[in-house]
Structure 1
């Protein structure tokens, strides 16, 4: 993209904080938002002056292209606070890289790294009190970009808005998760946008997921679109299978999101000499492992979910319950990962990014 000179952020601070109106012990995920938001517009072929303003509604025309052609991508990341009040991000440069990969696939201009990091850290400094310490507490951060040019011709927009909003969070899922293995519907296909965090990916899976929920399942583990024989990822999580003492996860592809938590778990497994295989894994293999007792665990990983154990799955009208593992990898990795994120353990891979 064209080299751009960084402009310092224009800042308008809120007159009165909303933080005292929030019950941080009882928060529904993604429904409360911090005092401020970051935004930067792309017009006339360049990103303009970045701004931080009080969180507020926006005015957007009904003809904005995002409503008609779906040009929108997003990221999910978190900030954490340690017992001394220091705040940290987790692998933020990976989020910046990934949102630009997603954007490129939807013909959206890449957002400059300097704008992203400066906007993110400034916003975190301003709303730092919203990051609460303690196990399970975090500030969920949602960077996103969408086409707001008012035009309904079917072509890439000429104007975009990049934003960052934040929401205090606790656990995304409470307890264990029950899943269906997909047999009919598909999340994505070869050559498509499954690897991107495109807004439409999520909208398309809401209907089949709602059918699964009516049967008592929280999520679907998607299978390959061609044959429905190979397991890939869930709606909000990458998926790991433990057969005996080996951890297995599907390789990333056009269809599978390159999850940052996924990459972190693979590295943590290698650090602890746990065997990891990144390969295709079939429905037949997992069902057979469940029958013969070698399937010890299934768990999902993601920024919002962190690590969510899966207690049962259904496929072809067969239900398989997964007994609790006494030496659970999910429990081990969740504790290790959260200790690193909250500055309670050594960070030998340099994943923590302190907000100063």
Structure 2
């Protein structure tokens, strides 16, 4: 795909929010990337246009049959004023994997990444500067064809919107409380749990409401078949440090293959720290705690990067991990990962991609 990206000027630019008020996903930049698809034309008309409300037919198929997918990635501002991305090619591939599962036409990964870089260059002044901040990047695709009938749509729109953001959970490294869900399930093998389909997240809301009501930050999902094996947290993959080894659930087809998850595994191997991908039951986790061997639990995801877990509640029993303090390994991984993302540390894996120069 080799199309010119047009630019539509905004009449007036927005006032940028103060860094200490950012939160997560509350503010959006001046511009967004848009591209259309029609079965007769393929993907066409890429453009950077003012961020604005959408107009869709009530019969747009996304509303009725759920063809809606997304990705999540970030741009960071380094100390020398460089804007850079973290492993963006992994997000492009995962977006296409999700397209494939949801019968959405494939995107030219190189072209889309180039277009995202152009959007970030346009909005480089929106990249915040401060501890735990970044410019969150949300590519998504929806079915826009006006038709009622259960089949893949023939028309789609792709958008990329940007949101200057702070820490996902507020205080970035304060351990969070996690509730192990036993009634509801997130995904089944053979379903769509391994891709970023919007419906996965809609299905999680009921359980998350219960967790919120009980004072927990997130849900830890168990497998749908036996309600026994740990899968993932609502917004993160999960890791357990047990007796000196790190264990994370293996990708069985119902767990999202997180970019941060993969990065953590590579980093641990680089440090010669034993790490295993395998099925692990919630009983094993609680038994390890009883033996005094459960040393750390942490989540890993684009939004939160690393989030230590201080409490786990399952079957009316609550365990406290590492005296509700962040563990040494969790801290080391966070420091290394964010150090690479912000250009403060060497990048031996070639994970970062420079986009633009920003005023310091």
Please indicate, yes or no, whether the TM-score normalized by the shorter chain is above 0.5: yes
Superposed CA offset, 1:73-117 (max 9, x none): 100000001111111000011100000101110100011123211
Q: Superposition pairs for residues 2-41 of structure 1, below 5 Å?
A: 5-18=1-14, 20-41=15-36
State the shift of 1:56 in Å: 0.7
Tell me, which stretches of 5 or more residues in structure 1 are unaligned?
none
* Partner residue in 2 for 1:151: 147
Q: Are positions 1:347 and 2:342 aligned together?
A: no
Counterpart position of 2:121: 125
Map 1:28-67 to 2 at 5 A. 28-43=23-38, 44-67=40-63
- Given that 1:6 and 1:114 are in contact with CA atoms closer than 8 Å, whether structure 2 keeps it comes out as no
Q: Cα RMSD (Å) of the superposition?
A: 1.2
What does residue 134 of structure 1 align with?
130
Matches for 1:52-91 after TM superposition, within 5 Å: 52-91=48-87
Which of 83, 86, 108 is matched with 1:112 structurally?
A: 108
Conserved? CA contact 1:73–1:103, under 8 Å: yes
**Partner of residue 305, structure 2:** 306
Q: Does 1:263 align with 2:259?
A: no
CA drift at 1:197? 0.2
Shift of 1:67: 0.4
Contact kept? 1:50, 1:115, Cα under 8 Å: no
Give CA deviations for 1:203-255 in whole Å, capped at 9, x if unaligned.
00000111122111111111111111110101100000010211100111210
Q: What TM-score does the superposition give when structure 2 sets the normalisation length?
A: 0.95
C-alpha distance in structure 1 between counterparts of 2:147 and 2:68, whole Å: 15
TM-score under structure 1 length normalisation: 0.96
Residue pair 1:142, 1:165 contacting (<8 A) in 2 also: yes
Distance 1:28 1:309 in 2: 19
Residue 206 in structure 1 maps to residue 209 in structure 2: no
Q: CA deviation at 1:272?
A: 1.1
Deviation at 1:154, TM superposition (A): 1.1
2:180 aligns with 181
Count matched residues: 351
Separation (CA, whole Å) in 1 of partners of 2:198 and 2:188: 16
Contact 2:23/2:167, CA 8 A, preserved across alignment: no
Which residue of structure 2 aligns with residue 102 of structure 1?
98
Gaps of 5+ in 2: none
Deviation at 1:326, TM superposition (A): 7.7
Whether the aligned pair in 1 keeps the contact of 2:180 and 2:219 (CA below 8 Å) is yes
SS of 2:45's partner is coil
2:158 counterpart SS class: strand
